[in-house]
Amino acid sequence: MRIFLVILIMSSAQFFAQKSLSPDNIKLESKYIKDETSNAVWYAAKGDQKMEIGKVTTKVKKVDKATLLIKTTVKMNQAPEALWVDSTLVKTSNFQPIYHSSYNSMRDMSLKFGKNKVSGYYLDKKTQKKDNINENVSTEYFDSNSYPGLIRFLSLKEHYSTEMPIFDYNPTAKKGVVKAYVEDVTKGELNGKKVWIVKTTDDIQDRKTIVTYYIDVVTREVLKQDIDANGRKMVMETVK
């Protein structure tokens, strides 16, 4: 009986252990990837109260048969003219990064992704200091800006968890390849719709920021995001 229990425990551990994902082994639910534009309202939350702080528009577009564009535009209520615009090109089949640009009132950044090298620049608009980026990379990876976009296309199931290498550039913090994590997946309901509830985090903020996605089971649309940034609560709700 004891031997049977040991074998059962070992088998269960192997069953629930998830292989690390990267562009060379990921299998996406590609039928859900299509051209679309979604809008979300961004709130700061405290208890049962929330205050609108901005709006986020996300555009997904197939540039050609092999390439996908993910573009996010953020408009903050306090500075509606100072848009934050991030554009990322990835391979549609596996989200292997090709290019990422990011422009806002504080800095500009452009990254070109190669198999073993990331090149580009980072311009601090306050100091006018420009850093040339030339990072060697020895592993397959996703872009830190695009990995949140691929989560809804994973083969989701209850109690699923995994980790994935992501490249992130920040001149004052960690940069290079770090990890992102899908910590848990459960099934639930939101506004009458069945949803996957996907809890994620990453090493960019030392796993202190938790983002929970509520993803429509039928359409894979992200209906809501709960964000816990080291105790600071925020919510993003998709609107029609």
Q: What is the pLDDT along the chain (240 residues), one digit of tens a residue?
A: 444 333 333 334 334 445 799 999 999 999 999 999 999 999 999 888 999 999 999 999 999 999 999 999 999 999 888 899 999 999 999 999 999 999 999 999 999 999 889 999 999 999 999 999 999 999 999 999 999 999 999 999 999 999 999 999 988 876 789 999 999 999 999 999 999 999 999 998 889 999 999 999 999 999 999 999 988 999 999 998
For the chain, list the domains and their CATH numbers. 18-239 (2.50.20)
CA atoms within 13 A on the CB side of 75: 8
Contact between residue 94 and residue 83 where contact means Cβ atoms under 8 Å apart: no
pLDDT at position 64 is 95
Pair of tokens at residue 205: 């903020």
> What local confidence, expressed as pLDDT, does residue 115 receive?
82
pLDDT at 93 (0 to 100): 96
The backbone torsions φ and ψ at residue 193, rounded to the nearest 5 degrees and listed phi first, read: -110, 140
Report in angstroms the alpha-carbon separations of 234 from 49, 50, 110, 111, 167: 11, 8, 28, 28, 25
Q: Please give the Cα distance from 22 to 163 (Å, whole number).
A: 9
pLDDT of residue 37: 97
Q: Is the pTM higher than 0.75?
A: yes
Report residue 160 CA to chain centroid gap. 17
pLDDT of residue 13: 39
Please give the full DSSP string across 178-236, using - where no structure is assigned.
Answer: EEEEEEEEEEEEETTEEEEEEEEEEGGGTT-EEEEEEEETTT--EEEEEEEETTEEEEE
* pLDDT value at residue 48: 85
